[in-house]
Amino acid sequence: MRVARSRAVVAAGYQPAVVARVAGVSRQALYRRPSRRPAVAGPGVTSPDDAIVVEVARANPTDGTRMVAALASRQLGRPVNRKRVQRVMRAHRLLQPSRSGDRRRRPGFFRVTRPNALWHLDMTKVWTAQHGWVYLHAIIDCCTREICGWSLELRCRDDEAIACVEVAVLARNIQPGQLTLGTDNGSQFTSRDFRRHLSARGITHRRGGYRDPESQAFIESWFGQFKKAPGLAIGMGVAGPGEKGDQRLRRRLPASTPFEAGLPDADRGRRQLAARS
């Protein structure tokens, strides 16, 4: 209402800047001329292109509105608005059901009272002189701070993650229902095969929140200290062409041995890392 009255005052001969300042509106609103929507646009209006959109959507049932709009534009030879494609696909019930938009929140409080109650698993990249970038999967016990399993591979698929978990479970003789494994939301940890393997082993999968490294604090901290260890630069590519950096890196990793009698020792992991520094 203020914009309409201000336009009338401006039409009477007053300066737009003065009118906009007094009325408290922007000068852009005074200069902009309202335009009506074209008769062939808007919801509820059919178009000859809608049949092409429906045909393309049915021929590609797994594609979304952007891909259907691109294919329809290519077929028609002119651009097709994505929002119109979305309205047409919604009217014909061709939209695919979307996943829940709720973000995964930080998991609840977990009290660790014994070894093999909660493990953290994660992956990091390390540069070696012989093979270039390699991928280190490591599992840490949140009670003893001990690395109970690790693997150094050239790839970081779910197969490598499953193999790392399997070696640690067999070495620690984990029984069904005894262990909770915490991971982030990496593709290898959220894959169907990885979750199926944990379920078959009777291991509870505990995923952290999105963009929340604190939910994986133990393994993230160990990775940080591991990469700061003196001498690791030799294994990370500083070595000469004839030296085997990946073998030096493997020697810097803790040995994956079963628990000994007298555990848990809360400082064993720290002494183990310090001994190799």
Q: Are 40 and 47 in contact (CB under 8 A)?
A: yes
pLDDT for res 252? 55
In a domain, 14, yes or no: yes
For residues 142 and 271, state if they share a domain: yes
Task: Check whether 197 has a pLDDT greater than 60.
Answer: yes
In a domain, 128, yes or no: yes
Q: How many other C-beta atoms are found inside a 10 Å radius of the C-beta of residue 238? A: 12
For residues 125 and 248, state if they share a domain: yes
For residues 218 and 247, state if they share a domain: yes
For residues 135 and 242, state if they share a domain: yes
Model pLDDT for residues 124-172, shown as the tens digit of each residue: 998 887 778 899 999 999 999 999 999 989 989 999 999 999 999 999 9
Peptide bond into 61 cis (omega under 30): no
The domain tally of the chain equals 3
**249 vs 84, more confident:** 84
For residues 55 and 170, state if they share a domain: no
Percent of the chain with pLDDT over 70: 76
For residues 128 and 242, state if they share a domain: yes
Model pLDDT for residues 215-231, shown as the tens digit of each residue: 899 999 999 888 887 55
In a domain, 111, yes or no: no
Average pLDDT over residues 26-49: 72
For residues 59 and 186, state if they share a domain: no
Instruction: Name the one residue in this structure whose structure tokens are 């009338």.
Output: 8
Q: Which domain holds residue 16?
A: 2-31
98/96 Cα distance (integer angstroms): 6
In three state form, how does the secondary structure of the chain look? CHHHHHHHHHHCCCCHHHHHHHHCCCHHHHHCCCCCCCCCCCCCCCCCHHHHHHHHHHHCCCCCHHHHHHHHHHHHCCCCCHHHHHHHHHHCCCCCCCCCCCCCCCCCCCCCCCCCCEEEEEEEEEEECCCEEEEEEEEEECCCCCEEEEEEECCCCHHHHHHHHHHHHHHHCCCCCCCEEEECCCCCCCCHHHHHHHHHHCCEEEECCCCCHHHHHHHHHHHHHHHHCCCHHHHHHHCCCCCCHHHHHHHHCCCCCCCCCCCCCCCHHHHHHHHCC
Q: How far apart, in Å, are the Cα atoms of 155 and each of 158, 167, 168, 184, 189?
A: 9, 17, 19, 18, 14
CATH code for the domain of 143: 3.30.420.10
For residues 131 and 245, state if they share a domain: yes
